[in-house]
Amino acid sequence: MSKEIFAICCVAIVTAVLALTIKRYNSEIALLISIGGAILILFSVIDCILSSVNQVNEILAKSQISSEYIEILLKVLGICFLTEFTCDCTKEAGMDVLTGNISLAGKIIVLMTSLPLFTQVLNTVVSLVSGT
């Protein structure tokens, strides 16, 4: 797994050099090259994420924690992943307004996704307060 980082660094350097070379003649294609490199790098990393997610699920199956919390956590992680990727792509294109709006949308959707957890915490607090 740790040998992947060499390949990732090589891909990043090659992509940067290619994009910089093309940028003088054709800046749109340069943007597409850098997005393609980013996708390659993410594809090589996503297998690690998959195995770690499976490990977390195994640990949870052994302990008696309910799986709905970790599901919400994973969803939030995926939303952050997508938002970060898209933010970086639009930042590369020089569209700062889009970058800001996408990160705002990601934050709002993360909040909406994790709202059931907040209500759960609130219910626990209320039950504790009413118990004493």
User: Which of 9, 32, 115, 125 contacts other proteins by CB under 8 A?
Assistant: 32
Q: How far is the CB of 125 from other proteins (least distance, A)?
A: 28
- Residue 24 main-chain phi, psi, to 5 deg: -65, -35
- Measured CA distances, 8 to 21, 29, 55 (Å): 20, 21, 24
Separation of alpha carbons 90 and 35, rounded Å: 10
* Structure-derived torsion over alpha carbons of residues 39, 44, 45, 51, reported in degrees to the nearest 10: 130
**117 lies in the site for other proteins, by CB under 8 A:** no
Output 103 or 109, the one with its CB closest to other proteins: 109
User: Which of 5, 9, 13, 26 contacts other proteins by CB under 8 A?
Assistant: 26
Separation of alpha carbons 132 and 123, rounded Å: 15
**56 lies in the site for other proteins, by CB under 8 A:** no
The tokens describing 69, both together, are 């919390």
The tokens describing 66, both together, are 């309910």
Q: How far is the CB of 7 from other proteins (least distance, A)?
A: 6
Residues near other proteins, by CB under 8 A: 7, 11, 14-15, 18, 21-22, 25-26, 28-30, 32-33, 35-37, 39-40, 42-44, 46, 49-50, 53, 71, 74-75, 77-79, 81-82, 85
